[in-house]
A and B are shown apart, each in its own frame.
Chain A
Amino acid sequence: QKEVEQDPGPLSVPEGAIVSLNCTYSNSAFQYFMWYRQYSRKGPELLMYTYSSGNKEDGRFTAQVDKSSKYISLFIRDSQPSDSATYLCATGFQKLVFGTGTRLLVSP
Chain B
Amino acid sequence: DADVTQTPRNRITKTGKRIMLECSQTKGHDRMYWYRQDPGLGLRLIYYSFDVKDINKGEISDGYSVSRQAQAKFSLSLESAIPNQTALYFCATSDFEVAGGTFNEQFFGPGTRLTVL
Q: Please classify how large the interface on chain B is, using the bins under 10, 10 to 19, 20 to 34, 35 or more.
A: 20 to 34
Knowing A8-B40, A43-B90, the reply to whether A96 touches B111 (Cβ < 8 A) is: no
Contact of A88 among B42, B48, B102, B104 (CB under 8 A): B42
- Which of under 10, 10 to 19, 20 to 34, or 35 or more describes the interface residues of A? 20 to 34
Residues A43 and B104 in contact, CB atoms below 8 Å apart: no
Q: What CA separation (Å) do A76 and B27 show in the bound complex?
A: 30
Considering only residues 33-86 of chain A, those with a C-beta below 8 Å from chain B are 34, 41-46, 49, 51
Partner of A6, one of B42, B97, B103, B105: B42
- A residues apposed to B, CB below 8 Å: 6, 8, 31-32, 34, 41-46, 49, 51, 88, 92-96, 98-101
Q: Which residues of B contact A (CB under 8 A)?
A: 4, 40-45, 48, 50, 58, 90, 92, 97, 101-111
